[in-house]
């Protein structure tokens, strides 16, 4: 899997470009830092699941960290937690192996020591909570320079020379938690080692890292910076190639008379419709009718097959299947595609030549692209608003509602990753298994005559 980190310096107006760039590198998991997103939650953006956290919605946009996971790994996600605007955690199960991915955006090295003490103490606490039974992958911008060391288990020999206070604190945590900062263990050219540059002041450093355990079953093959992708940030994408060996589990002895290896055809049901009471009641009624076909004479295999068929057929009849919808920005057009490509080529040209003229050309095309994107958004929304106003109440009223539904579709089908915490399972199942349908809860009591006296027996 290709796993990395990238400081994007705000996602506002750049989300399409960011996803296109990380897809061009075939990234599976990417931690994005300094996203400047408010609140926390999940959403689907093109081919990626975006799990994000940031400051409260009433605060000014700042900081923020998120994790982008390719949709092909959606079934590997078990849960996530947005800890604060600097730390986010996602738990996955990859090849029968529990893995925790931590996204970190550390505070600046210029912050007061008291604030840095609090941040790194919290970071150390979150790592300790993970325990020793899970693999750990820590990604992010740590604003720390760890230098280079030989014959060291934490820092490799191929990093930069300088160190700072944040770097010393990070090394201390890694030593106590038996972690390894992988960047310095792979020899590359300087242009593929430094993760942040500022050409105007001739500054460069390594502050974005991929960190794993020192004793790990994961195979980290390479870690390096990629300069060829851009989103207007002065940080480079750091990409690590990591192999997750499959953990073979012993097969359980099973004497059941049906095939336990039977695979079920995956289907996407329209589960949102179950929020409507009438649909929910219809599904329960259909399922009750179909389960009546099971008799005591059936074998175990036949009972199992009948239960599966009953659940699937009742769901198809009552709630229907969900059709996949492609997320498409209505304002995106061919002209913007051309400008994005020109901007990328100008950026690569400047990286190769380092000429001031090429840098000015890159900044100019970058400014023009930003203006065109803003203008395209305004133009398309003004046009669509006028169309909707003219169609509503007329013969083309349905066209307006189709457009509104299409625009809302990506949010409607956002992944529901708010999973049930372990301490809530008992409460969840008590509520789930409590029969509250009116036909079962409103039974009338029965009167019984016992030795001349009427006794009322409540059958509920």
96 in Cβ contact with 249 (< 8 Å): yes
Beta bridge partners of 226: 237
Measured CA to CA in angstroms, residue 206 lies from 117, 144, 195 at distances of 22, 8, 5
| Residue 418: predicted pLDDT | 55
Task: Give the residue-averaged pLDDT of 433-457.
Answer: 60
pLDDT at 38 over 80: yes
Quote the CA–CA distance of 103 and 41 in Å, as a whole number.
Answer: 14
Percent of the chain scoring above 90 in pLDDT: 40
| Residue 448: predicted pLDDT | 53
pLDDT at 412 over 50: no
pLDDT at 98 over 90: yes
Quote the CA–CA distance of 315 and 320 in Å, as a whole number.
Answer: 6
pLDDT at 255 over 50: no
Torsion of CA 381, 386, 389, 394, to 10 degrees: -120
Quote the CA–CA distance of 14 and 63 in Å, as a whole number.
Answer: 16
What are φ and ψ of residue 116, in 5° steps?
Answer: -65, -35
| Residue 356: predicted pLDDT | 85
Q: Which of 371, 372, 363, 357 is nearest to 343 (CA)?
A: 363
Q: How confident is the model at residue 417 (pLDDT cuts 50, 70, 90)?
A: low
pLDDT digits (tens, 9 = 90+) for 56-92: 888 888 899 999 999 999 999 999 999 999 999 999 9
Quote the CA–CA distance of 235 and 194 in Å, as a whole number.
Answer: 9
- Note the residue count of the chain: 460
Measured CA to CA in angstroms, residue 148 lies from 151, 153, 171, 218 at distances of 10, 11, 11, 23
> Going from the N-terminus, what domains does the chain have, and what CATH number goes with each?
2-243 (3.60.10.10)
Place of tokens 């940030």: 233
The mean of the pLDDT values for the chain is 82
pLDDT digits (tens, 9 = 90+) for 190-236: 999 999 998 888 899 999 999 999 999 999 999 999 988 888 899 99
pLDDT at 413 over 50: no
Grouping H, G, I as helix, E, B as strand and the rest as coil, residue 446 is: strand
Of the candidate ranges 203-207, 255-259, 301-305, the one whose mean pLDDT is the lowest? 255-259
Q: How confident is the model at residue 371 (pLDDT cuts 50, 70, 90)?
A: confident
DSSP codes, 123-140: HHHHHHHH-SSSEEEEEE
Q: Which of 217, 234, 107, 225 is nearest to 158 (CA)?
A: 225
| Residue 179: predicted pLDDT | 95
Measured CA to CA in angstroms, residue 223 lies from 28, 180, 361, 371, 384 at distances of 15, 13, 31, 35, 46
pLDDT at 421 over 60: yes
Chain centre distance of CA 112: 32
Q: How confident is the model at residue 365 (pLDDT cuts 50, 70, 90)?
A: confident
Burial 31-69 (b: 16+ CB within 10 A, else e): bbbbbbbbebbbbbbbebbbbbbbbeeeeeeebbbbbbb
Task: Name the more confident of 141 and 250.
Answer: 141
DSSP one-letter code for 203: E
Quote the CA–CA distance of 259 and 263 in Å, as a whole number.
Answer: 10
pLDDT at 123 over 90: yes
pLDDT digits (tens, 9 = 90+) for 318-347: 888 766 544 456 667 778 888 888 888 888
98 in Cβ contact with 76 (< 8 Å): no
């Amino acid at each position: 899997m290709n796993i990395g980190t990238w400081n994007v310096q705000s996602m506002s107006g750049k989300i399409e470009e960011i996803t296109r760039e990380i897809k061009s590198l075939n990234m599976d998991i990417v931690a994005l830092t300094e996203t400047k997103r408010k609140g926390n939650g999940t959403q689907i953006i093109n081919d990626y699941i975006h799990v994000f956290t940031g400051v409260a919605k009433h605060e000014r946009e700042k900081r923020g960290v998120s994790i982008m996971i390719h949709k092909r790994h959606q079934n590997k996600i078990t849960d996530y937690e947005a800890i604060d605007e600097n730390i986010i955690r996602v738990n996955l199960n990859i090849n029968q192996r529990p893995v925790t991915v931590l996204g970190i955006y550390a505070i600046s090295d210029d912050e007061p020591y008291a604030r840095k003490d609090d941040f790194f103490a919290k970071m150390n606490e979150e790592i300790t909570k993970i325990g020793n039974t899970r693999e750990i992958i820590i990604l992010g911008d740590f604003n720390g320079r760890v230098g280079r060391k030989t014959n060291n288990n934490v820092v490799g020999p191929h990093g930069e020379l300088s160190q700072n206070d944040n770097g010393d604190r990070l090394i201390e945590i890694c030593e106590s938690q038996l972690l390894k900062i992988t960047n310095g263990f792979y020899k590359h050219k300087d242009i593929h080692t430094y993760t942040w540059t500022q050409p105007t002041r001739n500054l460069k450093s390594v502050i974005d890292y991929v960190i794993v355990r020192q004793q790990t079953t994961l195979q980290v093959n390479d870690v390096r910076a990629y300069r060829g992708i851009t989103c207007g940030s002065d940080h480079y994408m750091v990409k690590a190639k990591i192999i997750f060996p499959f953990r073979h589990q012993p097969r359980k002895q099973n004497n059941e008379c049906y095939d336990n290896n039977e695979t079920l055809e995956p289907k996407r049901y329209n589960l949102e419709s179950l929020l409507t009471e009438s649909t929910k009641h219809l599904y329960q009624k259909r399922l009750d009718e179909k389960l009546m076909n099971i008799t005591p004479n059936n074998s175990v295999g036949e009972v199992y097959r009948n239960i599966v068929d009953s659940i699937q057929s009742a769901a198809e009849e009552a709630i229907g299947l969900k059709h996949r919808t492609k997320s498409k920005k209505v304002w995106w057009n061919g002209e913007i595609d051309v400008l994005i490509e020109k901007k990328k080529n100008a950026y690569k040209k400047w990286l190769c030549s380092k000429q001031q003229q090429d840098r000015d050309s890159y900044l100019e095309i970058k400014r023009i692209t930003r203006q065109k994107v803003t203008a395209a958004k305004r133009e398309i929304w003004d046009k669509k608003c006028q169309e909707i106003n003219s169609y509503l109440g007329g013969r083309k009223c349905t066209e307006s509602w189709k457009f509104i539904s299409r625009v809302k579709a990506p949010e409607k089908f956002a992944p529901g990753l708010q999973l049930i915490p372990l301490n809530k399972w008992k409460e969840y199942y008590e509520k789930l298994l409590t029969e509250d349908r009116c036909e079962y809860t409103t039974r009338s009591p029965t009167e019984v005559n016992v030795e001349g006296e009427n006794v009322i027996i409540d059958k509920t």
